[in-house]
Chains A and B, each alone.
Chain A
Amino acid sequence: MVNIIWASLIFIAIIYSFFTGNIETINNGILTHATSGMNLIIEMMPLIVLWTGIMKIAENSGLLEIFSRILNPLLSKLFPSLNKDHKALGYIASNIAANMLGLGSAATPFGLKAMEELQKDNPKKDTATEAMITFLVLNTGGVTLIPTTVIALRMMYGSSNPTEIIITSILATTISSFSGLMLDYMIRRKNR
């Protein structure tokens, strides 16, 4: 699926630019955008290394397990295929918590670590498991309690009440995540 999207994005971009005479921009883009990707990696790298290091301490001390046990009543309903003390659950819990608090940079390493743990007991290594998909639906739903960037920008442009959108964001994100989880649940049931 990602395969098709990736090809379509490039295909559309280049063909369309031929028609609109925008070839100059595309030409420059092809030569420079790899650098933008590399810059993003360089920006992310120290954070990922730092957080995987810190979280290893939490894993070894058992704190991660305690953390996942607190959220277990909720998580076991969402991930029926996972064992109660599956290592991934701690990372899933941390990822969701970091997302909720608007700490996107910390959420990514937790999420990647969760995927790694889920992959360990995946019988078909090239195929997504049900638990992986449910986790990603939760993750892309992006349940953010405090959208810090948006509030900062609203403040900058002189909003009379920068935080008034918190409640509408929470409601919209809840509906979005809930509908994603519902569809996910229905597909899982149909597949059984």
Chain B
Amino acid sequence: MNLLSKIIIPLFVLLIIFFGVKKKVNVYDSFLSGAKEGLVMVFHIAPTIIAMVFAVNIFLDSKFLEGVLGFLEPFLNNTNIPMDIIPMALLRPISGTASLAIMNDIFINFGPDSFVGRLASTLQGCTDTTIYVLALYFGSIKVTKTRYSLKVGLFADLCGIIAAFVITTIFFGQ
């Protein structure tokens, strides 16, 4: 698996260049014109990225989530859901680095082979940072009316979180 993931990018680049040369495309000029488009793209997404990183980071700094969790704790203690996974589940749609950091803490405190460790691993692998992706992709083409996209994206995330919990329980037991 490791070798495959290392060889796939070089092979992909080789295939593209080889096919381009074979079809008598001026590969160098094509690269330059594409790269120029890429620069413009970076220029377009820069404000979106700064805006999102700023808002998400001061939100994390405020420790608001920890406050909410303290409030939720008595309710969750009556269920089978481990308390330590909740911050990760809540942060997953907003920030990939933040949820990764929480997974890291869970591994340190409980070990990767604990139930909560396996659940965190599954959760990290199963969804992406929905809100960030929506902001970035729509921001890059200046679409402001995003219609029902957030609703659908967050619904998919919620289903993913529930599925991760159920599947981890079935596969590894509590």
A interface residues (Cβ-Cβ under 8 A, vs B): 1-3, 5-6, 9-10, 12-14, 16-17, 20, 22, 25-26, 29-30, 33-34, 36-38, 40-41, 44-45, 48-63, 101-103, 106, 108-109, 111-113, 115-116, 118-119, 122, 124-128, 132-133, 136-137, 139-142, 144, 146-150, 153-154, 157-169, 171-173, 175-177, 179-180, 183-184, 187
Contact = CB atoms under 8 A, between A and B. Distances in A.
B85 interface: no
Contacts of A180: 152-153, 155-156, 159
Contacts of A63: 15-16, 19-20
B121 A132 contact: no
A53 B148 CA distance: 33
Contacts of B8: 101, 103
Given A2-B131, A33-B53, A142-B128, A53 B58 contact: no
A3 B58 CA distance: 16
Contacts of A122: 143
A5 B131 contact: yes
B152 A146 contact: no
A61 B50 contact: no
Interface string B27-46: 10011111101110110011
Given A136-B149, A176-B126, A102 B171 contact: no
- Give 7 nearest A-B pairs by CB, closest first: A56-B34, A180-B156, A176-B160, A52-B38, A169-B125, A142-B128, A147-B125
A interface majority secondary structure: helix
A115 B112 contact: no
A139 to B, nearest CB: 6
A44 B132 CA distance: 15
A96 to B, nearest CB: 12
Contacts of B134: 1-2, 136, 140
B133 interface: yes
B71 interface: no
Given A33-B58, A137-B152, A137-B156, A127 B147 contact: yes
18 contacts: A17-B61, A30-B58, A37-B53, A53-B34, A56-B37, A58-B20, A60-B25, A63-B16, A109-B41, A137-B156, A140-B157, A142-B127, A147-B125, A159-B117, A169-B121, A169-B125, A177-B156, A180-B153
A57 B122 CA distance: 37
A145 B105 CA distance: 24
A127 B16 CA distance: 34
Contact of B63 (A3, A20, A159, A164): A20
Given A20-B67, A148-B5, A3 B144 contact: yes
Contacts of B56: 9
A114 B20 CA distance: 21
A29 to B, nearest CB: 4
A26 B62 CA distance: 7
Contacts of A147: 121, 124-125
Most chain A beta-carbon contacts within 10 A, residue among B30, B123, B126, B149: B126
Given A13-B61, A140-B153, A173-B127, A165 B118 contact: yes
